[in-house]
Amino acid sequence: MSQSFPIEKLQKIKTPFYFYDMDLLEKTLMKVKHNADKYKYVVHYAIKANANVRILEMIRSFGFGIDCVSGYEIKRALEVGFSPKGIVFAGVGKADWEIELGIDNDIACFNVESIPELEVINDIAAAKGKVANVALRINPNVNANTHHYITTGLQENKFGINNWDLEKVTNAIGRMRNINLEGMHFHIGSQIMDLSSFRQLCVRINELQKWFISHRIYPKIINVGGGLGIDYDEPEVNPMPDFEDYFKIFNDNLDLRADQQVHFELGRAIVGQCGSLISKVLYIKEGVKTKFAIIDAGMTDLIRPALYQAHHKIENLSSVAPEEKYDVVGPICESSDSFGKQLALPKTSRGDLVVIRSAGAYGEVMASQYNLRELPKAYYSDQV
């Protein structure tokens, strides 16, 4: 049981709700900044992981930029006070109004995925009398060794420009007067625990560097994306990833020119471990072979287990009795509304407070109101 959960105070709050350890978030941000600054790397926080305003305000206080994948995320970033000069905009399907929003606010860069998208950005920029900065999102065909739903860097994925189209794309840019090619962008996937995948990415980037330079194109920015994973099994043992080794891999393996910048887009690695979903046990139901712990949090509050078959560590904060095995399930009218099967928990009873760990990324931000449920509220360690 973690010392970071003020159980008596949490028991007074209506469940389910998200609880954020702001001290851990601050320590994680300090670690990211310290290790990125060693190499003068630029970090953009991937807002899709968590768009909670208080979380964003703390991230902004460390001087990081923002990686957005929708116009709505750009709006949120601007509302919280992030500088447009630190906003990069990715996404395979940018709507015209989203592109206009980015151009109107002079954001740092559009990460572009196709010639048709380039043509639309060029036309909109021309109509506004502006030049839009772009980076080409290139599909490096690197296997991230992660869940197939969150792998994004293979040739069969919908994301990015494939190698055989590069000449066609760069020739098209040469004819566009309202496009400025800033650099290359990559993102090979999410929840990557095998750091060798990032070494493979560096090798591929070095090869592409040579191709661009041979065509007299000199990318100013090398944006390597994000994807660094967290420890869902033992969040207490590893409350943050090994940022030192992560950044060092790129320093040791990228062949850079003197004036090039390396950019990162980290999301889960920053916020994943600081957030937990707190719930109460409604019933203990005896099945034929299975004992069910039915809690009041459901897939509407944390969809990752239903969507990705994702594992989250679950703890009973109220009991210290000997362990029994439970299927922990929610109240939603779907068979997929399950958080884990045959989990060992202290003997669990109605009213016990349970915590679903490592839910700071893709938890609150993906919540829905299916079954007309209320969205979960958020509470913070420095305010309860």
| Assigned domain for 186 exists | yes
CB count within 10 Å of CB 327 equals 17
- Does the pLDDT value for residue 163 go beyond 90? no
Q: How much is the average pLDDT of 248-258?
A: 96
With a pLDDT cut of 90, the percent of the chain lying above it is: 90
Using CA atoms, how far residue 56 sits from 73, 165, 246, in Å, is: 11, 37, 23
Q: How much is the average pLDDT of 223-246?
A: 97
Q: What is the CATH number of the domain that holds 267?
A: 3.20.20.10
Cβ neighbours of residue 113 closer than 8 Å, sequence gap 6 or more = 91, 92, 137, 159, 160, 161
Give the pairing of strands 353-356 and 314-316: antiparallel
Q: Binning pLDDT at 50, 70 and 90, where does residue 288 land?
A: confident
Give the pLDDT confidence of 39-56 residue by residue, as tens digits: 999 999 999 999 999 999
228, 253, 272: which is the final residue of a domain?
Answer: 272
pLDDT on residue 136: 97
| Assigned domain for 238 exists | yes
pLDDT on residue 156: 54
Q: How much is the average pLDDT of 109-124?
A: 97
Q: How much is the average pLDDT of 276-303?
A: 96
Give the pLDDT confidence of 46-85 residue by residue, as tens digits: 999 999 999 999 999 999 999 999 999 999 999 999 999 9
- Does the pLDDT value for residue 366 go beyond 60? yes
Indicate whether 265 and 347 sit together in one domain: no
- Does the pLDDT value for residue 150 go beyond 70? no
| Assigned domain for 1 exists | no
pLDDT on residue 1: 39
The string of DSSP letters for 256-281 reads: --TT-EEEEEESHHHHGGGEEEEEEE
Indicate whether 248 and 277 sit together in one domain: no
Indicate whether 257 and 355 sit together in one domain: no
pLDDT on residue 12: 96
What domain range is 57 assigned to? 22-272
> Taking all residues of the chain, what is their mean pLDDT, rounded to a whole number?
94
CA distance 337 to 383: 31
Assigned token pair, 116: 């048709």
Indicate whether 204 and 277 sit together in one domain: no
Indicate whether 251 and 335 sit together in one domain: no
pLDDT on residue 149: 45
What pTM was estimated for this model as a whole?
A: 0.94
- Does the pLDDT value for residue 18 go beyond 70? yes
Exposure b/e, 30-39, CB count within 10 A at least 16 = b:
ebbbebbeee
CA distance 282 to 139: 47
- Does the pLDDT value for residue 175 go beyond 50? yes
Q: What is the CATH number of the domain that holds 337?
A: 2.40.37.10
pLDDT on residue 287: 85
| Assigned domain for 261 exists | yes
| Assigned domain for 216 exists | yes
